[in-house]
Structure 1
Amino acid sequence: MSEKILVVDDEEEIVAFIRDALTDEGYQVWTAGNGENAIAAAKKQPDLIILDIMLPGCDGYAVCRAIRDEVSCPVIFLSARQGEDDRVRGLATGGDDYMVKPFSLRELKARISAHLRRERRSMDRRSRSVLRFDGLTLDLKGHTVCWQEKNIPVTNREFAIMEFLALHPEQVFSREQIYERVWGLEAAGDSSTVTEHVKKIRAKLAAAGCPAPDGYLATVWGAGYKWRRQR
């Protein structure tokens, strides 16, 4: 095991506790004690980031927003903030998971392992030209979508949304993140168009006979959308 994990927290005892535990598991552990150092360390492309919210300088939310264009690895927020709004905000800014302090080290290790396994499977998918989810098939080279061998006509934008989310299953992306990825940073439009495209994709899946089109392209209320492997 040689995955690189960045631990970001201004409490030295917590950093040392997590670092020692993960090092014993065989991970390479990098650390940062404030937002600015975290952004700099993230540029070295860790495989996973454990990120506190209350940091000196820019907070964890700002760190996550700052790195998301360049860093695609899973981000686990680890914070004393317990409110639903805090958890939703963490997911909406690009986080993949949220744990509340005090936390179980055993659970943290399990979540790290699960996210890294998911990333390895995602990398395997990117090397393939066809993605299969139950009866739904996406041909990445042919830009075609089929439900149980029945072709579903989709536009280039619709396919790009499906492809982007399907290559990152179970990861939540905000409308803004999807818009920037599919339309581009310089696009002169509004991220609300993502919602309309999602509705059209679901309608086309339903028309083709897919019994629960929103089961694949799921809404995470207050945060965005994610692709489910199975309905």
Structure 2
Amino acid sequence: MKRVLIVEDDQSIAELERDYLEINGFETDIETTGDGGLTSALNRDYQLLILDLMLPGTNGFDICRTVRKTKEIPILLVTARKEDIDKIRGFGLGADDYIVKPFSPGELVARVKAHLARYERLSGRKQAHTISFRGLKINKDSRQVYVNGKEIELTAKEFDLLLFIVMHPNHVFSKEHLFERIWGLDSMGDLATVTVHIRKLREKIETDPSNPQYIITVWGAGYRFDA
């Protein structure tokens, strides 16, 4: 089931949007503040964002700009303002569509379906080469890694190690297994190599390396990527 995030400070409008979307088979969450909407959009897995522009806290334009740095999901702007300059600004920040209040809930659902279908057609191949988890984005072809939109420089082995464990989320790998897969059976070295590379990865991709959110130590067993 596809998930949609509604960021709307008018509770009655948000609930109306939610009801129509859920009737049409979507799972929805509602955030009524800009700060809450931005946090949810960045840290949870949604297929589309419905975003009001005039919000308490972080405004819709800033949310759109920030989300677009790390995610390519469709963003549908909703506002009571009819000025063309707002539309131009929204599209310039990466929004996919713009709908003015008051609007028909049926039209909203139709636009959501259309943008999701278009996104799936255009990004199907690209998504196969890109992996994203909670602000972490890995491009397998270009071997680039981003955390919250900022590119992170990794060595070849650091990238190989990260990609391998990310490709197997929530699976626990022993140091022996990781050493064999990344360095090979004929490699010279010891299991401390794995520990050192895990530490370096955490220093580069974790907000708090001492309290990692991505690469988790399973004591006595090895490491797993927490998806």
For normalisation by structure 2, the TM-score amounts to 0.55
* Identity of matched residues, %: 35
The 5 Å alignment of 1:23-102 reads 23-42=22-41, 43-102=43-102
Q: Which runs of 5+ in 2 are unaligned?
A: 130-140, 143-148, 153-227
**Which whole-Å deviations, capped at 9, do the CAs of 1:93-114 have from their partners, x for residues lacking one?**
1211000000111211111011
How large is the RMSD of aligned CA atoms in angstroms? Answer: 2.3
The question of whether the paired residues in 2 share the 8 Å contact of 1:45 and 1:71 is answered with no
Residue type at the aligned position of 1:70: T
The question of whether the paired residues in 1 share the 8 Å contact of 2:65 and 2:94 is answered with yes
Task: Choose 1 or 2 for highest CA Rg.
Answer: 2
Q: Secondary structure at the match of 2:55?
A: coil
Deviation at 1:45, TM superposition (A): 2.4
Runs of 4 or more above 6 Å deviation: none
**Which whole-Å deviations, capped at 9, do the CAs of 1:16-51 have from their partners, x for residues lacking one?**
101111111110001100111001111202100000
- Rounded to whole Å, the distance in 2 between the matches of 1:101 and 1:76 is 13
Residue type at the aligned position of 1:123: S
Counterpart of 2:175 in structure 1 is: none
- Rounded to whole Å, the distance in 1 between the matches of 2:91 and 2:32 is 22
Residue type at the aligned position of 1:33: T
Q: Secondary structure at the match of 1:6?
A: strand
Q: Secondary structure at the match of 2:4?
A: strand
Give the paired residue count: 134
Change (3 A) 1:128 1:60: closer
The question of whether the paired residues in 2 share the 8 Å contact of 1:23 and 1:29 is answered with yes
The 5 Å alignment of 1:73-222 reads 73-126=73-126
**Which whole-Å deviations, capped at 9, do the CAs of 1:144-186 have from their partners, x for residues lacking one?**
xxxxxxxxxxxxxxxx9xxxxxxxxxxxxxxxxxxxx9xx979
For normalisation by structure 1, the TM-score amounts to 0.54
The question of whether the paired residues in 1 share the 8 Å contact of 2:16 and 2:105 is answered with no
Q: Secondary structure at the match of 2:69?
A: coil
Q: Which runs of 5+ in 1 are unaligned?
A: 130-140, 142-159, 161-180, 187-231
- Rounded to whole Å, the distance in 2 between the matches of 1:60 and 1:127 is 26
Counterpart of 2:162 in structure 1 is: none
